[in-house]
């Protein structure tokens, strides 16, 4: 059995580790201390000093030298969320602590959202819903790419994009990808075409962005990319708002009213109160809901308990990441 510590924000605690998940965790450990909010950890040094494993999630404490010095027995962290950038430090990696995350689990609802939005976008659903509402009748002409023989472009090909591609297999579409890390052999296996960013935008009926926010990806997608989209195309972003040059995107969307933009993320987030994104008729703005929400969050907590069982049995962890992987993911 194992001495465990659960430490995260109070909000995340209630949605990621509700009663039934918490009971399952308690059944797998010798003792479980709970610290919430995470920043109160200096008041609970005894619990931190004894913890062999930490379970966490959104609102995790920054695991710097001071925190780690207070946790000498710590061997593994089970993080029931996606990005680890907010809490992992160089000192953490130097301690050689195991880290596993629920990023693959959090990718499930994002891929569901993306595939659904792409399907609706290929039918120009938001465009025709607006026209119908404004005219109070159905438009006579309804041109659209449709989900037969059209082309979907995925910008970056990480976990979420791969899941989205799997969901798109039910559609009769061609899928093309821009990702410098994707090899030709892997592209063949995935049944996608490798293209550069310019070609992807110029030849896609729907473009879905899955690019992590890294220093080299800030502002990656510019106005001239969006301006090359096919007539009536969909532009979808469920990744990070900062990978788009937002002022240039807004300028193109003003001129290209045929483009449908579905934006679940923006920069800043939410947009400023005077942002044109609230008013542009071809923008469908959602409040960062593509990822795990409500009961979906329990799935991340349960996944980390499954990882704990593997850890206790001396088995390889399914979703473990190291410093190299962490540097490349959102």
Question: How confident is the model over 149-180, as pLDDT tens digits?
Answer: 999 999 999 999 999 999 999 999 999 999 99
pLDDT in tens, 239-279: 999 999 999 999 999 999 999 999 999 999 999 999 999 99
C-alpha–C-alpha distance, residues 220 and 246, integer Å: 11
Q: Of how many residues is the chain composed?
A: 330
C-alpha–C-alpha distance, residues 205 and 326, integer Å: 32
pLDDT confidence of 95, banded at 50, 70, 90? very high
Arithmetic mean of pLDDT, 28-34: 97
Arithmetic mean of pLDDT, 122-142: 94
Give the helix/strand (H/E) hosting 199. helix 197-203
Copy the structure tokens of residue 51. 């913890």
Has residue 83 got a pLDDT over 90? Answer: no
Arithmetic mean of pLDDT, 47-59: 97
Q: Which one is the CATH code of 106-285: 3.50.30.30, 3.90.700.10, 1.10.10.10, 3.40.50.720? A: 3.40.50.720
Which residue, chain included where needed, has tokens 């106005």? 223
Has residue 226 got a pLDDT over 90? Answer: yes
Has residue 328 got a pLDDT over 90? Answer: no
Arithmetic mean of pLDDT, 105-134: 96
Q: Does this chain's domain 3-101+294-326 share its CATH topology with 106-285?
A: yes
Cα 69 to its chain centre, rounded Å, is 32
Please list, in sequence order, all residues whose beta carbon lies within 8 angstroms of the beta carbon of residue 140, skipping any fewer than 6 positions away: none
**Is residue 228 within 8 Å of residue 204, measured between CB atoms?**
no
pLDDT at 330: 62
C-alpha–C-alpha distance, residues 163 and 38, integer Å: 32
**Is residue 306 within 8 Å of residue 318, measured between CB atoms?**
yes
- Secondary-structure percent of the chain, ordered helix, strand, coil, rounded to 5: 40, 15, 40
In terms of Cα–Cα distance, which of 114, 102, 109, 36 is closest to 293?
A: 109
270: cis peptide before it, omega within 30°? yes
Q: In the chain, what are the domain boundaries?
A: 3-101+294-326, 106-285
**Is residue 77 within 8 Å of residue 99, measured between CB atoms?**
yes
Has residue 141 got a pLDDT over 80? Answer: yes
Mean pLDDT, all residues of the chain: 96
Contacts 24+ apart (CB under 8 A), 211-218: 211/155, 211/156, 211/239, 211/240, 211/243, 212/156, 212/158, 212/239, 212/240, 212/243, 212/328, 212/329, 212/330, 213/239, 213/240, 213/242, 213/243, 213/330, 214/328, 217/243, 218/242, 218/243
For residues 111 and 330, the model is more confident at 111
pLDDT confidence of 118, banded at 50, 70, 90? very high
In sequence order, which ranges of 204-245 are alpha helices (DSSP H)? Answer: 223-227
pLDDT at 329: 74
pLDDT at 234: 98
Arithmetic mean of pLDDT, 133-150: 93
Q: Which one is the CATH code of 3-101+294-326: 3.40.190.290, 3.40.50.720, 3.40.190.10, 3.30.70.2860? A: 3.40.50.720
pLDDT at 12: 95
Q: Is 94 helix (H, G, I), strand (E, B) or coil?
A: helix
C-alpha–C-alpha distance, residues 25 and 41, integer Å: 21
**What percent of the chain shows pLDDT beyond 70?**
99
């Amino acid at each position: 059995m194992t001495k465990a510590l659960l430490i995260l924000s109070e909000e995340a605690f209630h949605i990621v580790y509700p009663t039934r998940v918490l009971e399952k965790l308690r059944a797998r450990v010798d003792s479980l201390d709970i610290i919430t909010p995470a920043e109160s950890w200096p008041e609970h040094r005894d619990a931190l000093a004894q913890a062999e494993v930490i379970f966490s999630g959104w609102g995790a404490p920054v695991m710097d030298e001071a925190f780690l010095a207070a946790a000498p027995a710590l061997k593994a962290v089970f993080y029931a969320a996606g990005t680890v950038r907010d809490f992992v430090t160089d000192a953490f990696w130097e301690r050689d602590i195991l880290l596993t995350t629920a990023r693959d689990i959090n990718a499930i609802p994002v891929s569901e959202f993306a595939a659904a939005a792409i399907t609706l976008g290929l039918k120009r659903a938001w465009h025709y819903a607006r026209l119908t509402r404004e005219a109070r009748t159905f438009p006579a002409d309804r041109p659209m790419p449709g989900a037969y023989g059209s082309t979907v472009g995925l910008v970056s090909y990480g976990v979420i994009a791969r899941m989205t591609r799997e969901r798109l297999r039910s559609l009769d579409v061609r899928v093309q990808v821009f990702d410098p890390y994707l090899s030709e052999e892997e592209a063949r296996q995935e049944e996608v075409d490798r293209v550069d960013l310019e070609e992807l935008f110029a030849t896609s009926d729907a473009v879905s962005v899955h690019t992590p926010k890294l220093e080299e990806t800030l502002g990656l997608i510019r106005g001239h990319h969006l301006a090359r989209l096919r007539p009536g195309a969909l532009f979808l972003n469920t990744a990070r708002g900062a990978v788009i040059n937002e002022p240039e995107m807004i300028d193109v969307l003003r001129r290209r009213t045929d483009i449908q933009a579905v934006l679940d993320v923006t920069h800043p987030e939410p947009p400023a109160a005077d942002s044109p994104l609230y008013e542009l008729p071809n923008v469908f703005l959602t409040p960062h809901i593509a990822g795990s929400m409500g009961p979906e969050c329990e799935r991340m907590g349960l996944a980390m308990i499954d990882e704990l069982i593997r850890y206790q049995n001396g088995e390889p962890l399914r979703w473990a990441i190291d410093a190299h992987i962490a540097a490349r993911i959102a």
